[in-house]
Amino acid sequence: MEPGTPSSTESDTVLVTPPVSPRRDDEFYCRDIVFQVENVLFKVARRPFEQDSSAFASTFSLPSQDHAHGVEGGTDEHPIYLAGVTEAEFRSLLRVLFPPPLRTLVNMEVYHSISTNVLFSCLLRAVQRPATRLARSQIYRSAKDRLYSPISHHRAYGASRALTQEQWTHVLRLSSMWFFDAIREKAISELARLVRSPVVRIVLARTHAIPTWIEPALIQLAQQDTLAITDLEPLGWAMAAKLVRVRDSVAFTTACLCACQYCNHAHGAVAGAGVHGQGPNAHANQGHAQSYSPGTRPTATSAATVRKTFDFSQKIREVYGTDLY
């Protein structure tokens, strides 16, 4: 072997990075059952998963199998691994399942290590200050309810938290996948309030089966003066082509100078209009003559203004058919 030539042992050496041990979540690690999501361990109460999710209820009803590290989900060494989920998504769901008041009263390190009875005692001491007037028994019951009662009992999902649109989208995805039906309803309600873009509404509706969102969002897009490529791309070629067809099915003139009965009904009365058939805006057909109260519509109404008030619903149903549902 020539000097300087690496030996076969040296050249074949491969540096292997040891696997990173999963870490405990800073916020959701307390009691009952351990889940691993990506590289994070979450330990939370089991009952909400059993009682509020038909998917987890079915899983937990199966006979448990003992492993070298104990029952699955019982220890950090043998957690229940949730594939296809990110830690951010799972944390968003937990923030809806488990409101925060308890964690604001007890130091998390203590919360992780002490027994339930000691936890109640700590809670009582924490709130029994001069400014607190709640009875001892009421505090105890409140603490116990927060720990052990599934949140669906009081139907207040997420009431103590202000989640973002992205977090509620996480909640919608997981609640749909795991059949947390009441939480899914809450997520849909919150997203209906937060999501303004009709394109985003359609994408969410098609992804998570919310058919009642699709038609109103398509109407809103059809009523826009113009459509940008950013409006059409997320919809996919087929849906975008149908939307263009819906929009092109109705032709709008550039101006509406008419003050006949139909136009007054469809677009509002013309500003300053009096007895129909007189003045510069008189309709050629005098047979329509009728008296109207003065309105606010300008004598020249743009096509864009007319489009914004046009009802495209019938045409959308005709063109899209069952794709709306």
DSSP states along 240-285: HHHHHHHHHTS---S-----SHHHHHHH-PBBT--BTT-STT--S-
Joined together, the tokens standing for residue 138 give 């009421």
Mean pLDDT of 223-237: 92
Q: In the predicted model, is pLDDT for residue 213 greater than 70?
A: yes
Q: In the predicted model, is pLDDT for residue 163 greater than 60?
A: yes
Verdict on whether the full-model pTM lies above 0.95: no
Residue 194 DSSP code = H
Low-confidence winner among 152-156, 278-282, 286-290, 313-317 (lowest mean pLDDT): 152-156
Q: In the predicted model, is pLDDT for residue 20 greater than 50?
A: yes
CB count, 10 Å around CB of 245?
Answer: 14
The pLDDT of residue 325 is: 80
H-assigned helices in 22-148: 47-52, 54-61, 87-97, 101-105, 108-113, 116-127, 136-148
Q: What are the φ/ψ torsions at residue 70 (nearest 5 degrees)?
A: 105, -170
Mean pLDDT of 128-145: 52
| Higher per-residue pLDDT: 312 or 287 | 312
Look at the block and give the residue holding tokens 């919150």. 190
The pLDDT of residue 234 is: 94
Integer Rg of the chain from CA: 31
**Distance, CA of 205 to CA of 81 (rounded, Å):** 29
Length of the chain: 325
**Distance, CA of 112 to CA of 117 (rounded, Å):** 13
Instruction: Give the tens place of pLDDT for each residue, 21-55.
Output: 899 999 999 888 999 999 999 999 999 999 999 99
User: If 0-12 CB within 10 Å is exposed, 13-18 middle and 19+ buried, where does residue 114 land?
Assistant: middle
Mean pLDDT of 294-304: 61
SS3 28: strand
Mean pLDDT of 4-14: 55
Residue 99: which pLDDT band, with cuts at 50, 70 and 90? Answer: confident
The pLDDT of residue 141 is: 53
Residue 307: which pLDDT band, with cuts at 50, 70 and 90? Answer: confident
Instruction: Give the tens place of pLDDT for each residue, 260-298.
Output: 666 666 666 666 544 344 444 444 444 444 444 555 655
The answer to whether the beta carbons of residues 258 and 283 sit under 8 Å apart is yes
The pLDDT of residue 108 is: 42
Summary mean pLDDT of the chain: 75
**Distance, CA of 83 to CA of 61 (rounded, Å):** 20
Mean pLDDT of 46-71: 80
**Distance, CA of 191 to CA of 299 (rounded, Å):** 40
